[in-house]
Structures are given as structure tokens and as C-alpha cells.
Chain A
Amino acid sequence: EPEVTQTPSHQVTQMGQEVILRCVPISNHLYFYWYRQILGQKVEFLVSFYNNEISEKSEIFDDQFSVERPDGSNFTLKIRSTKLEDSAMYFCASRRESSGPYEQYFGPGTRLTVT
């Protein structure tokens, strides 16, 4: 069964450094998402991406964040200058194009630790 994959599973970085989290969505999906879950808190929406542009973003997704689909398979989340409060589990999700609200398929997550 096809699945969303994410790398790395755990990333440790120093405050102020740039990180890139990588995701490979399911191959025939066209809608892509990033969510994050700070330890002990709920899963929060960051950004959605369709047709090579951001379709919606949350207030968390400020100028320090960016997303890109550099080729036909990868979907990346970049944090330019990490802060301590960026420490969280980051989930990528994808959805196939449809006229209905079909489910989003989630990856296993990348745990980002900022020290």
C-alpha cells in the first residue's frame, strides 16, 4: 500500500540554524500539507500546497517557514532560523485530487529538536 514517507525521523539542530524537512507524498496525490505537534499539545495545521503554490497557511507559518516541491516527488518544509519553540513533531500529509473532502494520508513524522 502506498504511503507518505518523511526524512529524517529525528533532527537535532542548534538555534538559529536552517533545517529542511523532507517528505515524499503518495505519487498520485496533488494536495500537500504540513502540520506540527508540540510535545503534549494538539496537532496544528501549518500550510497547504497545491499546483505549486501555497493555498492556505496558518498564523504559525511566518516568514521563517517556506515550502517547496523541487521535483516531482519531494515536498519540503524549510525553517530558515530555528527557534527553541520550533521543537516539535512535524507531519507531512497528502491527498489525491477530488471534488470531495477525501482523507489526508499522514507520514510518520520528523521530530525536530532545537537546542
Chain B
Amino acid sequence: AQSVTQLDSQVPVFEEAPVELRCNYSSSVSVYLFWYVQYPNQGLQLLLKYLSGSTLVESINGFEAEFNKSQTSFHLRKPSVHISDTAEFFCAVSDRFQKLVFGTGTRLLVSP
């Protein structure tokens, strides 16, 4: 069975500081990895995904994540956060059957 662990339930950070949100997964088969973001009172939006190929994937708003098979991790990073990045971030894994298995989420709190 697949599972996702997000150890940090909340990450407070100051504006323009770097941030890393941790995600570790467990799977016995090939995996596809995703980061979804949920802004206040909104649905889940795909931030970025790893399907195959380059282990470093980037989003259009400056986030990036690196797939590390040996460490079974898919940590999310941003070198300089904005107030508007305040949101809940969910790491998810799926197999070829497409069901998404989510982590418990990490709330990113950016303050001035």
C-alpha cells in the first residue's frame, strides 16, 4: 500500500526567506508524485508533478521539488516566499491506477 508522510503540520516563515516542505512516501511500485496547494476557502490546485525523467520539477510560481528515489522523498522548496504563498500544501502519490493518496498537509504561514 502507498502512503505519504508530511512531518511538518505547520511551517512559519518570514517573507523573502527560503522554505522547504518535507514529503516522504512509501510505495512498492513505480510512483507518480504531486504537490497540491489549497488557498483559503478554495479547492485543491496542482502545483507540480513528477512522472518520469528529470528529478527536479518546477512550478510557474517559483516552487520546485526534487524526486529522490533512494530517500523516498519529494520535498518542496522555494528560495524566497511571498505573503501570498500562505496556504496548505499537500503531497500526494499515485500509481498507475490513478487513485491519489495524500499526506496530512503542511500549512505554510508567511509573515511580513
Q: Which residue of A lies closest to B95 (CB)?
A: A101
Contact with B along A80-103 (1 / 0, CB 8 A): 000000000001010100001101
Chain B residues bordering chain A, tally (CB within 8 A): 23
User: Given known contacts A105-B46, A106-B45, A108-B42, what 6 new A-B pairs fall within 8 Å (CB)?
Assistant: A35-B100, A35-B102, A43-B100, A101-B96, A106-B36, A106-B43
Instruction: Point out the residue from B92, B99, B104 that lies within 8 Å of A56, measured CB to CB.
Output: B99
The B interface is mostly helix, strand or loop, or mixed, namely strand
Query: Residues of A with Cβ closer than 8 Å to B?
Result: 4, 31, 33, 35, 41-45, 48, 55-56, 91, 93, 95, 100-101, 103-109
Query: Residues of B with Cβ closer than 8 Å to A?
Result: 32, 34, 36, 42-46, 49, 51, 90, 92, 94, 96-105
Residues of A contacting B96 in the complex (Cβ-Cβ under 8 angstroms): 101
Q: Which residue of A lies closest to B31 (CB)?
A: A101
